[in-house]
Amino acid sequence: MAEQVRDTAEQWPERNGSTPFQGRVTGVRTEEVRMPDGSWARRDYQLHPGSVAVLALDADQRVLVLRQYRHPVKRRLWELPAGLLDVPGENPLHAAQRELYEEAHCKAGEWRVLVDLYTSPGGSNEALRLFVATDLAEAEEERYAAHGEELEIETARVPLAELVRLVLAGELQSPTMVSGVLALNAALATGGLDALRPADSPWSARPF
């Protein structure tokens, strides 16, 4: 039974597809999809290039976190460094390294894949690869010139155990934070970081 519990690629018949909105990065796709009973149902969803996030863990088991305003939910959220895969063909590891530098002025000597996920598969095709980065150090380059919401980013290093407590208490609600903290906690309780996939592992959702 365990061998059968895995996601598989599949595509149901569709018709009348169009893209009524295309923004700078994301768009909206509308299609009619054939249901198992033969009827057709309309589905509208966000087109997204994909994204990466980084759970940066220091030698004291503290996680590097950022606090940033997110307008759609009207909140300041504590998050992990993250960013879009908006450079065509870019390796997701390189994108993650760039985001860690730009948002936290930090670099890491060791990288592994923590988890891959679809952030909201009922309404978006966004796929996210979440890395765990260790052997942290300050970046040598000049600090990245922030803009927009990034101008008010706050940074902190919080013990992993405290983040687990806050996630389970409902105090932290960023999906990358929740997924990353719980996944890392599970990984450390089982095979450890060495059991995780290499940083350049294949990614079927966003081949590179």
Q: Catalytic site residues?
A: 150
Q: Token pair of 4, please? A: 């059968």
Q: Residue 84 — φ and ψ, nearest 5°?
A: -80, 150
Written as one letter, the residue type at 63 is: V
Measured distance CA(46)–CA(122) in Å, rounded:
10
- CA proximity to 63, closest of 135, 154, 150, 163: 163
Closest CA to 54 of 208, 183, 192: 183
Token duo for residue 155: 């940074």
Helices (H), 28-159: 92-104
Structure tokens at 135: 């052997």
Number of other residues whose CB lies within 10 A of the CB of residue 54: 29
Residue from 152, 42, 150 nearest 103 by CA: 150
